[in-house]
């Protein structure tokens, strides 16, 4: 009788463990599943790559601002992990925003970014303007899927306003200090994005165990102005 009770108890514990594991897997999968639905100028959000803590976004229609919470070990080397708020677009575009971090932060290289991205895979081609918690600002880019990320660092630190612009196959970064006008900074890079691609804003904590927040305000997303050609 005792043996039968032991067998039954073991079976129940095994079933419970399986159910618990399945539940955890479902939660992890849900955390990395893009969520669709209008978020101000954007149409969806979700965690890109592997994160331990699901990210989120809050949109304040009155202030027209986005507060993004993101985890993720990094956005560097061959893979990324961060919270991304996005819209699918085609053609030439500009994305502009004022960026400010919330709190002191754990890692000085937490990042708030304006990004152009081929897809939502962790190793996707992309280009972004990344503002670090330390103030370091750079044009980051991954030229091909799965290759190492490169960067062009700007001489401006901790800008208030940032812009990323795509014209044809070239992406440029513009920055402005408080009260200043946006000016090109750091040159440009070539990246071949197929249409449609993703454009959006995101946050990476640069520490897989924590969540960091940044506020994106005065966000503007629009088609890039056509280049004027004057006949001589």
* Maximum CA extent, the chain: 101
Q: pLDDT tens for residues 108-162?
A: 999 999 999 999 999 999 999 999 999 999 999 999 999 999 999 999 999 999 9
Is residue 128 in a domain? yes
What's the structural domain count of the chain? 2
- Residue 146 tokens read as 């799965």
Please give the pLDDT value at position 30.
36
> pTM of the entire structure?
0.84
* Stated length of the chain: 232
- Is the same domain home to 106 and 140? yes
- Is the same domain home to 141 and 208? yes
Is residue 75 in a domain? yes
- Is the same domain home to 15 and 71? no
- Is the same domain home to 148 and 208? yes
- Is the same domain home to 80 and 134? yes
Please give the pLDDT value at position 32.
60
Is residue 58 in a domain? yes
- Is the same domain home to 161 and 67? yes
- Is the same domain home to 72 and 108? yes
SS3 13: helix
Contact 209, 110 (CB under 8 A): no
Pairwise CA distance, residues 25 & 136, whole Å:
37
CATH number at residue 88: 2.60.120.200
Q: What percent of the chain has pLDDT over 70?
A: 83
- Is the same domain home to 10 and 41? no
> Which residue stretches of the chain have pLDDT < 50?
1-31, 227-232
- Residue 1 tokens read as 């009788």
Contact 58, 85 (CB under 8 A): no
Is residue 193 in a domain? yes
- Is the same domain home to 83 and 149? yes
Please give the pLDDT value at position 228.
44
Residue 10 lies in domain: 1-31
- Is the same domain home to 69 and 167? yes
């Amino acid at each position: 009788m005792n043996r039968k009770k032991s067998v039954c108890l073991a079976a129940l514990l095994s079933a419970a463990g399986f159910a618990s594991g399945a539940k955890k897997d479902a939660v992890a999968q849900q955390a990395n599943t893009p969520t669709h639905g209008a978020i101000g100028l954007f149409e969806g959000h979700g965690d890109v790559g592997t994160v331990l803590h699901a990210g989120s976004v809050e949109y304040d229609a009155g202030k027209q601002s986005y507060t993004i919470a993101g985890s993720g070990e990094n956005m560097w080397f061959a893979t990324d992990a961060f919270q991304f708020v996005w819209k699918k677009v085609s053609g030439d575009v500009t994305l502009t925003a004022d960026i400010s971090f919330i709190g002191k932060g754990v890692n000085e290289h937490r990042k708030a970014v304006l990004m152009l991205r081929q897809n939502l895979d962790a190793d996707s081609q992309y280009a972004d303007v990344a503002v670090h918690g330390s103030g370091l600002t750079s044009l980051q880019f991954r030229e091909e899927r799965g290759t190492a990320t490169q960067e062009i660092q700007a001489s401006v630190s901790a800008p208030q306003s940032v812009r990323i612009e795509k014209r044809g196959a070239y992406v440029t970064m513009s920055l402005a200090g408080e009260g200043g006008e946006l000016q090109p900074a750091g040159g440009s890079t070539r990246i071949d994005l197929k249409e449609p691609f993703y454009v959006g804003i995101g946050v990476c904590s640069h520490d897989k165990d924590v969540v960091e927040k940044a506020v994106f305000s005065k966000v503007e997303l629009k088609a890039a102005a056509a280049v004027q050609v004057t006949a001589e």
